[in-house]
Amino acid sequence: MKLGRLCLYPPPPAKRRRWSARSLPAKQRRGDAPHYVSRCGEDELVLLLFETPSGFTIFTFCALLFDEPDPMEFIWAQFAENWSSNMIVWPNEFQTFEDKSSAINENTGVNERLAEMIMKHRCPGQKMAVGKPEYKRIIEERLGIPCLYGPIVMELMWGIQKWLSHSVPGEKSRLTEDDRLPLSQGLQNFLSRYDCNVKPEMVNDKIIKTAAFLFFECDSIEKDNYVALRKAADHIKNLSGISCEDWGLLKIAIALKIVCWPEEAGNAFEMISEDVVSKLVKDAPLYENVLDMDSCLGIYNHMMYAHKVRIKKKELLKSLIEEAKEAYEAG
C-alpha cells in the first residue's frame, strides 16, 4: 500500500489568529471591527450586555468564539493585552443609570430606557449574552430576546472587566470588591496544568501576560502540529517498524528531521536512543517519496521554537508567582 505524502505545514506563529476586518450590519457599525469578523456571518454576531459600576454597556462579539477547540482557554488569553481584547469584543454604547436595580429586576422587568438601548443595537433574531442568570430570565420573558449565560460568557465578562477603563472609557466609577468577577476559570485551568498553585487574588498582569505567551507560542503551536506529527508517527511505524505511540510531539519532530537530514542525526541522542537513531538514518531513503522535506523542516522548527520558549517562560512564570506570593503574604 502506498503511503500518502505528508505535506502539512502550519502557518508560522506570527500569523496565527489574525484575521482581516469586514463590514458589520448597519446597526453594529461602530468603529473598527475585530479582525476575526471576516469569518463571521451576520447571523453569528451576538450582543453582550455588560454591567459596569454605574451603568450598562452593549458590546458585540462573534459566536464563532464558541467553536474554538477550547474556548475556555482561548478567551482569557486574548484578554492578556488590551489591544488583543479588541479582537474579541467591541463596544456599541454605554449609558449610566442612577439606580441600576430599577433598570432591570424581577418585579418590574426591564425599564424603558435600558430596553430602548438594547433594541437600538439589536438586529432581528439576534441573541444577547448576559452576566447573570436572572438577567437571562428577565430579558427572555419581558423582551423576548434569546439570551446566553454560562462559563464561556463569564470568561468574556472577566476579560471586559479586566480592561474596563479601555473597554468602557466613559465609566468613571471604580470597581468595588463586590463588583469584581472571579478570576477566569480558563486561566486557572492553564496555571494548574503548569503546576502553578496560586490563589486567584495573587494573579497579576505579569503572570497573565506570561501565561498567555506560553499559550500562544507553546501550547497552541503543539496543537496546530498535532495531526501532522501523529501522521508522521504512522509513517515511521510503517516504514521503520518503530512504534511512536508513547512518544511526545517534540520527539516525533526530531525523528522527522533525522529521516529528512540524516547527516544531522548526531544532535538527536539527548531524546532518542542511539539504536533508534541508527535505524532512522539507515531507513532515510525510504522516506524520500513519502515526506515533504520543507513541511517537515517547518514543523521541526516550530516545535523546537515552542520547546525553547517553554523552558524560559515556564521558569519566568514560576518566579513571577513566587514574587506574587511573597508580596501577598507581606501585605
Cα 41 → chain centroid: 20
Measure the CA–CA gap between 72 and 151, rounded to whole angstroms.
8
Q: What is the pLDDT along the chain (331 residues), one digit of tens a residue?
A: 333 444 443 334 433 333 223 334 444 433 344 445 566 777 789 999 999 999 999 999 999 888 877 888 889 999 999 888 888 898 999 999 999 999 999 999 999 999 999 999 999 999 999 999 999 999 999 999 999 999 999 999 999 999 999 999 999 999 988 889 999 999 999 999 999 988 999 999 999 999 999 999 999 999 999 999 999 999 999 999 999 999 999 999 999 999 999 988 777 778 899 999 999 999 999 999 999 989 999 999 999 999 999 999 999 999 999 999 999 998 7
Phi and psi angles of residue 172, each rounded to the nearest 5 degrees, phi first: -100, -20
pLDDT in tens, 13-39: 433 333 223 334 444 433 344 445 566
Cell numbers linked to 30:
461602530
- For 6, 103, 265, the CA distances from 139, given in Å and listed in that order, are 52, 11, 64
Contact indicator for 228, 10 with CB cutoff of 8 Å? yes
Helix/strand number for the chain, H first, E second: 13, 7
Q: What is the pLDDT of residues 275-319, one digit of tens each?
A: 999 999 999 999 999 999 899 999 999 999 999 999 999 999 999
Q: What is the pTM of this model?
A: 0.83
- 216 is written with which cell numbers? 500562544
The radius of gyration computed from the CA coordinates of the chain, to the nearest angstrom, equals 25
Query: What pLDDT does residue 55 have?
Result: 97
The DSSP symbol for 81 reads: S
